[in-house]
Amino acid sequence: MTRGTILSVDAMGGDHAPGVIVDGVAVFLKERADSKVLLFGDEASLTPLVAAHPGLSSRCEIIHCDHKITSDMKPSQALRRGKGSSMWNALEAVKEGRANASVSAGNTGALMAISMLVLRKMDGVHRPAMTAMWPTLAGRSVVLDVGANVEADAAQLVSFAIMGEAYARATLGKERPTIGLLNIGSEEMKGHEEVRQAHEILRAADLDLDYRGFVEGDDISMGAVDVVVTDGFTGNVALKTGEGVARMLGTRVREALMKSLATKAGAVLASSGLNQLREQMNPSNANGGVLLGLGGVSVKSHGGTDAQGFATACRLAADLATSHYPEEVAANLARIQKKGAAAG
């Protein structure tokens, strides 16, 4: 394969793999003429799926793997048994420089563990963080961490802010993304000690970040800031709560519009606006969480995604792989470490 933007894809990870994965890759490659894909998985299963898409075989290389990481496998089991799996080999391709980024819809805990082992952490990163794109009234915001770390101390929250800011610039196109720390109030005495300490560090540090202070839960969907920083426990609860509310509202709107002939007629008249709302709330258009802080790009797609959603995750991986995100994160982490050493 000639060199360009190359993604390595775990074709066997996810609830509907490998069919949806191949379909998603086909959607992605139709949009990106300069991209190619390494498909890791069972060759016998993948070959006819690739052949079903005209022209796809010339831009995909199938690399056979004897086994896969299952959804019920614990991270410790994945580390012991995962070598040679489609997930492991896809990450190895990034480590070896054969691909620019990896995408998997497989087991989240296993992906986190294997990514850390294979790609290693960036200097100055205590723990990688998982991101989520959150639809807001202002467009979209980056929320992190959403599940990689149940707890986070002040230093970790600061590193999340640094990584999230660079990530938002690379993916949202914001030249100077705004940052907020998620808290139970905007007052400085609110929240636990780790959040207050992180607030003081971010406010005092010479990092050239547009830090806006504390934000509350309702500020996320309002788009008060571009980057919302929190620990993985709080972030995951917020994410799942938001997804549940969105599904509930979608169901209630459909019920209301189908209630009578009058409401059905109103729905027809308002169809363009309703279609726009559906597009904004469609999870497939915001699919893909990046494990920030690693020595390579590893993107986690939602396990139950459809082809459009997996294509979105592939776009995210390609965009991040060709950005200046790693250099920007490394520069600010180095400043934090230097400041800490001087204070010590």
pLDDT in tens, 219-253: 998 999 999 999 999 998 988 888 788 778 878 88
How much is the pLDDT for 96? 96
Positions of the chain with pLDDT under 70: 1-3, 267, 269, 273-286, 336-344
| Structural domain containing residue 260 | 126-288
How much is the pLDDT for 285? 60
CATH number, domain of 71, equals 3.40.718.10
Which H or E run contains 74? none
Position 341 in a domain? no
Tally of domains within the chain: 2
* Together in a domain, 134 and 220: yes
Rounded Cα distance, 75 and 136, in Å = 33
* Together in a domain, 63 and 147: no
Contact call for residues 297 and 95 (beta carbons, < 8 A): no
Position 334 in a domain? no
* Together in a domain, 116 and 158: no
Q: What is the DSSP letter of 15?
A: T
How much is the pLDDT for 140? 87
* Together in a domain, 139 and 279: yes
Position 329 in a domain? no
Position 331 in a domain? no
Question: What's the pLDDT tens digit per position in 90-116?
Answer: 999 999 999 999 999 999 889 999 999
Rounded Cα distance, 258 and 277, in Å = 17
Q: Which of 240, 272, 288 is at the close of a domain? A: 288
* Together in a domain, 271 and 187: yes
Classify strands 5-10 and 129-136 as parallel, antiparallel or unpaired.
unpaired
Position 344 in a domain? no
* Together in a domain, 191 and 274: yes
Position 308 in a domain? yes
How much is the pLDDT for 242? 83
Position 146 in a domain? yes
